[in-house]
């Protein structure tokens, strides 16, 4: 019993020492990902993907890899914002994964924001059935990062015709959404 307690204590001490070192070894802190998705009537998407990160190293002039983006997509614009204001960003590579090139280097301890606008040029609707009723599910999700993300938020704007008289978001109830079968 004493042996288990000593082993557990050693494990706790090691984890308390190693965990902060692993956090320090990260090149950046991925603070927030905000994805704003407009779903068109035909199932295509217009996406605004915004990544906010804090530089933890001496600085960089690019993100080596962003993606994978879905098949049949088009990059429409990319931009950056830092402590000194907006800066130019361009993407190279593709067609699935891109290198994100910055106009100027980042600085340690500063926060930056990269925004990429793109379209998904094919329908992401998946036909399905729930309790005998036909539905369309959205078969799409943003790509993942190998580093942890502090917060990720995805906002969908759906092609749903709302009943007349609805003027505020809080008036949209579960019953109204369920009736659309989306």
Q: How much is the average pLDDT of 66-72?
A: 95
Is residue 107 predicted with pLDDT exceeding 60?
A: yes
Q: For the chain, what percent of residues have pLDDT higher than 90?
A: 64
Query: Which residues make beta-bridge pairs with 77?
Result: 117
Dist. CA 43–CA 122, nearest whole Å = 7
| Positive/negative CA dihedral, 81, 77, 74, 120 | positive
Is residue 84 predicted with pLDDT exceeding 50?
A: yes
Non-local CB neighbours of 14 within 8 Å, separated by 6+ positions:
none
pTM: 0.78
pLDDT band of 96, cuts 50, 70, 90:
very high
Q: Which pLDDT belongs to residue 11? A: 43
Query: Which residues make beta-bridge pairs with 82?
Result: 85
- Chain position carrying tokens 């949209």: 172
The mean-pLDDT minimum among 1-15, 67-81, 123-137, 144-158 falls in: 1-15
Dist. CA 15–CA 165, nearest whole Å = 57
Q: What is the mean pLDDT of the chain?
A: 87
Tokens standing for residue 146:
């190998």
Dist. CA 174–CA 182, nearest whole Å = 12
């Amino acid at each position: 019993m004493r042996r288990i307690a000593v082993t557990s204590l050693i494990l706790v001490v090691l984890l308390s020492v190693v965990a902060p070192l692993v956090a320090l070894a990260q090149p950046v802190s991925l603070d927030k990902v905000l994805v704003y998705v407009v779903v068109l009537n035909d199932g295509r998407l217009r996406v605004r993907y915004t990544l906010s990160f804090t530089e933890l190293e001496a600085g960089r002039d690019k993100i080596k890899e962003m993606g994978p983006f879905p098949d049949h997509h088009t990059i429409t614009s990319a931009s950056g914002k830092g402590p000194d204001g907006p800066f130019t960003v361009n993407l190279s590579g593709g067609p699935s994964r891109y290198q994100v090139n910055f106009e100027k280097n980042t600085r340690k301890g500063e926060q930056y924001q990269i925004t990429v606008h793109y379209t998904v040029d094919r329908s992401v609707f998946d036909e399905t059935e729930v309790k005998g009723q036909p539905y369309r599910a959205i078969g799409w999700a943003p790509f993942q990062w190998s580093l942890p993300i502090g917060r990720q938020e995805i906002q969908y704007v759906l092609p749903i015709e709302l009943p007349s008289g609805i003027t505020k978001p809080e008036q949209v109830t579960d019953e109204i959404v369920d009736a659309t079968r989306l």
